[in-house]
Structure 1
Amino acid sequence: MTSTASLTLHPDRLFPPDPGVREIARRLYAAVRDLPIISPHGHVPPQWLADDTPFGDPTSLLISPDHYVFRLLHAEGVPLEAVGAGGSPLDEAGARQAWRIFCEHWRDFRGTPVRYWMESELVDIFGVTERPSAESADRIYDQIAERLASPEFRPRALMDRFDIQFLATTDDPADDLRHHERLASDPSFTHRVVPTFRPDRYLEPARADFPDLMAALGKAADIDTGAYAGYLAALADRRRYFKEHGAVSSDHSHTDVVTLSLDGAEAERIYAAALRGEASEAEATAFRRHMLVEMARMATEDGLVMTLHPGVYRDHDTSSSRRFGPDTGNDIPVAMEFTRGLQPLLDRFGDVEGFHLVLFTIDETVYSRELAPLAGWYPAVYVGVPWWFIDAPEAIRRFRGAVTETAGFYRTSGFIDDTRAFCSIPARHDMSRRLDSAYLAQLVAEHRLGEDEALETVVDLVTSIPKQVFKL
């Protein structure tokens, strides 16, 4: 195999090898291939779109913000600073060298979803026709850099090209949301971009910076957070502020999803101790679990959809986290339990009209055992599609088989891209549409579903299901 091998995308990628089933998949996919993208959970910075500043170089766009890419490079011995991870500054020479490193390691991504997405980005967006390698790295870099310098590749133009109808970002409760305000007030910007309320830090009193966070929360809400009642009022006020700025959901990620309800006096006592830096680990954990229930209670009042994606050992490599900060690829999945942990929350709110709780996991063992049965009973519960470590073709196929038999298609969330890598959004959604078309085609071929029903379902998975789940 030569280093100048061509890079192409096969039109039947991810479709079944059986000719008859593949033909059905082709027909189903044709119905959804060009539908607009709905992205209800992601991490693209809203400032990119508000400022519409041209992207600087191929590395800062495609490698540095994408921990999917650089975590595997790190495993191969590449220093994180060499690829600009964690905001490490790279000049033009450094960015070009980082791109060379990525291309030299192209083989390490074989069989991974990263390889699938990156191929789609390179070919479909930038017109690259050479396979990445040490020899082709500079030519590919120059080709992408030339395109990024043109108006057609600025963030807003790419939003138009990708046909992203709805995009949710992820935002701190104390954020003033000024970038969202600019987008919403700009008549030339026709896409809907909304914030997502992400309160994790403000619900965890074991954090050393919890008192400082409470001060920031109080300042943002203009409410005294010196007591527990003020703390609750400030959170409710910021949720209201987010909703006024278009938010449709709150997003939560803790080590577990154990829930419980403390009485008011006990919650007040632990909160006061936390402000003094005196709450024990057990007290802080109990308070965090209690606050998850409080977030559900608030959701029943203000209508924000509640999404949970637990089960991650954050900052597993402490030395890397100290140097480069969070979200730099060294979070690792852990085993999860939902049924017992969520029972107190669902006992109170699982049947409340209008409450939507979307449960994500990266522990595949719970799909058929816990999440599908929960979604198959409680009107509030939906199963989130595979994300993060398992948003890969094989895992998505396993997900459909594990969940559909108990919860069907309409108790799932629709596809979630969960990405900071802006240019990978269309590739990820296209992957999901191909896989769902293939899964439904198999049901048709087995005479378990009429093709007209399969067609209706594949369209709903892209359109009406995410709109219904996230109340769009």
Structure 2
Amino acid sequence: MFIHEDFLLENENASRLYHEFASNQPIIDFHCHLSPKDIADNRKFNNLTEAWLEGDHYKWRAMRTAGIEEKYITGNESANDKFIKWAETVPQTLRNPLFHWTHLELKRYFDIDTFLDQNSAQDIYQSTSETLSNNPEFSTRNLMKKMGVKIVCTTDDPIDSLTYHRINNLSNSDTKIFPTWRPDRAIYIEKGKDFVDYIYRLGKSAEININSFDALKEALSKRMDHFELHGCVISDHGFKSLPLGKVNDILADKVLKRALNGNTISDTDLANYQSTLIDFLGKEYSKRDWVMQLHLGVIRNNSKRQFNILGADTGFDSMSDAPQADAIVQFFSHLDENDELPKTIVYNLNPADNYMVGTMIGNFQDGSIAGKIQMGSGWWFLDQKEGMEMQLNALSNLGLLSKFVGMLTDSRSFLSFPRHEYFRRTLCNLLGKEMDLGILPNDINWIGKMVQDICYNNIKSYAFKNEKATIISQLV
């Protein structure tokens, strides 16, 4: 049996920390890309390919590297044939986290201990697909219930109606879903016609003619009101690096009007517009007591050829080595001058930035809330054992691990929730080994309480204080 009781746990203290303190903690998945419609509709999957391979660019990258043709990845081959090709890839993923995740998910959802390969593929595909399509306990809501998921925060555009969040939260679902405000398309002014078209749609959703920067702010504020009524308490932004421009409404207004008229935007114009807009948004988040998430350090759509064929989010992104520190200082300090810096989680994709982020967050703690500025969990290419340990060690050395808000899936798959277990086992193993070495006190209850806080209590009090979002959603 590969996924055994003490998987990843190397000693008795690690095992006790996990089994007595971590394993039974509920899950708050405060950043993911699950479909609100699939949750509200309580979707049932027809087969394991639908549930497991749709939109999973981690698996797609591995399959391409293993020499699998694109027609079996994002193409029109049958669900069965796509799964067989994934199964052929799995034995080649040894030492890649996909090998662990694959077998952890087969075990937790389907109680399958067999290694997935070309020999076991057909039997596993048929048995799991029959379970998914015929057993109501394997619908989207019940898959989350099975893993103890209490709250999920999806990723949503300001123009989204949020109808599906409302439907789910007014039902008897065991899992509440709340929107996450992701206004990137209003920020990426360099996108030309796509930006202009988006601003028109944003104005329509807010019933405002967006012909100035003031009108844009009014429209965004109005849509934030809508999100707040649906329980939103978290925002999110994705940048290669934060802009390093002037915060000036007059300059931003001129740039916006040039863009809306179809004119080219210079790099200076871009930085000034973006800096001014995210400064406004940060102040709004502070006023509303929202959490601001910043995902920094990705270069997207690196293969132009594949982007032209397949589009975005298909597995052709990588980490950037762009400088981050100066722009973070400018952004945070400007908001902090008037006590308008919101609760913030910074995720860095490049591990070379771990110590920079770890020291940066300490500059802006103000005692108003424990861990107000957070170093986020290992993100994307870093959400594996080594990446998690590097993040945990950097945070421990430079900040307070005890106040860390913990793990999230950042996933598009309803079978991804064992990643919380993977993190919890990694955390407990790290602490358990140091207890054995005498680096930490051999006090299982003291260390265990910290584990429980990191797994659940900290994020609950940080973002869902008094279950504010739950109460609001039930009044919509």
| Paired amino acid for 1:367 | N
**Alpha-carbon displacement from aligned partner over 1:337-374 (angstroms, at most 9, x marks no partner):** 33211122211334737821110011111112x11112
Between the aligned partners of 2:341 and 2:457, the Cα distance in structure 1 is 17
Alignment of 1:69-468 (within 5 A): 69-83=59-73, 85=74, 88-89=75-76, 94-149=78-133, 150-186=135-171, 188-208=172-192, 209-282=194-267, 283-350=269-336, 352=339, 355-368=342-355, 370-379=356-365, 380-425=372-417, 427-450=418-441, 451=443, 452-468=445-461
- Asked if residue 26 in structure 1 is aligned to residue 15 in structure 2, the reply is yes
Between the aligned partners of 1:215 and 1:81, the Cα distance in structure 2 is 36
Alignment partner, residue 58 of structure 1: 48
Between the aligned partners of 1:471 and 1:374, the Cα distance in structure 2 is 25
Between the aligned partners of 2:208 and 2:228, the Cα distance in structure 1 is 18
| Paired amino acid for 1:64 | E
Between the aligned partners of 1:116 and 1:139, the Cα distance in structure 2 is 20
Alignment partner, residue 4 of structure 1: none
> Residue 462 of structure 2 is aligned with which of 444, 451, 469?
469
Please state whether the residue corresponding to 1:167 is helix, strand or coil: strand
**Alpha-carbon displacement from aligned partner over 1:97-137 (angstroms, at most 9, x marks no partner):** 01110111122211111111110111221122322222221
Q: What displacement does 1:142 show?
A: 0.4
> Residue 2 of structure 2 is aligned with which of 2, 5, 8?
8
| Paired amino acid for 2:190 | A
Please state whether the residue corresponding to 1:328 is helix, strand or coil: coil
Alignment partner, residue 472 of structure 2: none
Structure 1's 439 and 109: CA in aligned 2 closer, same or farther, altered over 3 A?
same
Which 5+ residue runs of structure 2 have no aligned equivalent? 366-371, 466-476
Please state whether the residue corresponding to 2:145 is helix, strand or coil: helix
| Paired amino acid for 2:211 | G
Between the aligned partners of 1:377 and 1:468, the Cα distance in structure 2 is 22
Q: What displacement does 1:29 show?
A: 0.5
Between the aligned partners of 1:96 and 1:190, the Cα distance in structure 2 is 32
**Alpha-carbon displacement from aligned partner over 1:233-262 (angstroms, at most 9, x marks no partner):** 111111121111111111100121234443
Q: What displacement does 1:279 show?
A: 3.6
Q: What displacement does 1:210 show?
A: 1.0
Please state whether the residue corresponding to 1:377 is helix, strand or coil: helix
8 A Cα contact 2:293 2:344, kept in partner = yes
Between the aligned partners of 1:220 and 1:294, the Cα distance in structure 2 is 20
Between the aligned partners of 1:80 and 1:288, the Cα distance in structure 2 is 37
Structure 1's 363 and 354: CA in aligned 2 closer, same or farther, altered over 3 A?
closer
Between the aligned partners of 2:113 and 2:15, the Cα distance in structure 1 is 24
TM-score, with normalisation over the residues of structure 1? 0.92
Please state whether the residue corresponding to 2:177 is helix, strand or coil: strand
Between the aligned partners of 2:379 and 2:455, the Cα distance in structure 1 is 16
| Paired amino acid for 2:424 | R
Between the aligned partners of 1:89 and 1:413, the Cα distance in structure 2 is 41
**Alpha-carbon displacement from aligned partner over 1:64-105 (angstroms, at most 9, x marks no partner):** 22111111111223233422x3xx555xxx110011101111
**Alpha-carbon displacement from aligned partner over 1:286-317 (angstroms, at most 9, x marks no partner):** 31233222221211122221100021111011
Structure 1's 196 and 10: CA in aligned 2 closer, same or farther, altered over 3 A?
same
Please state whether the residue corresponding to 2:254 is helix, strand or coil: helix
| Paired amino acid for 2:61 | R
Displaced runs of 4+ in structure 1, greater than 4 A? none
8 A Cα contact 1:296 1:345, kept in partner = no
Between the aligned partners of 1:459 and 1:353, the Cα distance in structure 2 is 30
8 A Cα contact 1:260 1:289, kept in partner = yes
Q: Is the deviation greater in 174-183 or in 349-358?
A: 349-358
8 A Cα contact 2:18 2:425, kept in partner = yes
8 A Cα contact 2:234 2:293, kept in partner = yes
Q: Is the deviation greater in 334-343 or in 23-32?
A: 334-343
Structure 1's 375 and 442: CA in aligned 2 closer, same or farther, altered over 3 A?
farther
Q: What displacement does 1:437 show?
A: 0.7
Between the aligned partners of 1:354 and 1:226, the Cα distance in structure 2 is 28
Between the aligned partners of 2:142 and 2:31, the Cα distance in structure 1 is 21
8 A Cα contact 1:385 1:415, kept in partner = yes
Q: Is the deviation greater in 234-243 or in 121-130?
A: 121-130
| Total equivalences in the alignment | 452
Alignment partner, residue 19 of structure 1: none
Please state whether the residue corresponding to 2:401 is helix, strand or coil: coil
Q: Is the deviation greater in 132-141 or in 437-446?
A: 437-446
Between the aligned partners of 2:54 and 2:165, the Cα distance in structure 1 is 24
Between the aligned partners of 1:182 and 1:438, the Cα distance in structure 2 is 40
**Alpha-carbon displacement from aligned partner over 1:316-336 (angstroms, at most 9, x marks no partner):** 112212222211111111114
| Paired amino acid for 1:171 | D
